[in-house]
Structure 1
């Protein structure tokens, strides 16, 4: 137990930390909904077993959910990415992976996964379009698709 080894200050902080379930990002949730119209989407998270409950609380739906607490493996271990891909029935080379942690992006790339750093919903949308996903929603946070992606379609 974390609190037991680090004293009362940590024990006192655990309650508020556990109570904070985060705030949903409606732009990204909208993108997720649209992406799922075209292909299955999974989440691989170094998270506790509360991930499924938190997603449900915020109305966020994934086709595959892999909290590290259930996998028994954390990112950036290659086994975490491989196990998630295995459970989805998708070869790693056929995956597109996005993460806001550069170390995790690098680890995924070493397995042949098309891995990209997530910096914003607008950049995420542009990157997905460049990969060939026909996203149609327009949002004030969105940037135009790169000219090269537009020519490829």
Structure 2
């Protein structure tokens, strides 16, 4: 649906926020299995790997539209929400080791506005630098399966 809005413009940039936390194994059939043991960190890694897979898949789909699709890791950001689970004594220390929201937004703004990236697509950035992701994220068969399953999950197929 977003592409329908970008096509008439003759250019556009889709920027996905991913993470350096990625899963090395990705099985689409396991995603919907209720009986497996739930781990919030595993779910997070799987979701962020899925974001990367969709970034790479969509970049290929829009290659003739002058639309770019890239992803980034913003870093670990200090917000009241991110510090909520930390012990009170540790909260001031978190600010020393975590980025501010403004610092975390730098790569997103760079991807959205840099003239140097006008034709860069299907790339993952950390700190404004192109970076490789886990091997499974580049699997074109899994990317297509995820795309097709996403259409079913969202009722668009």
TM class, shorter-length: under 0.3
Higher relative contact order (CA 8 A, sep 6+): 2
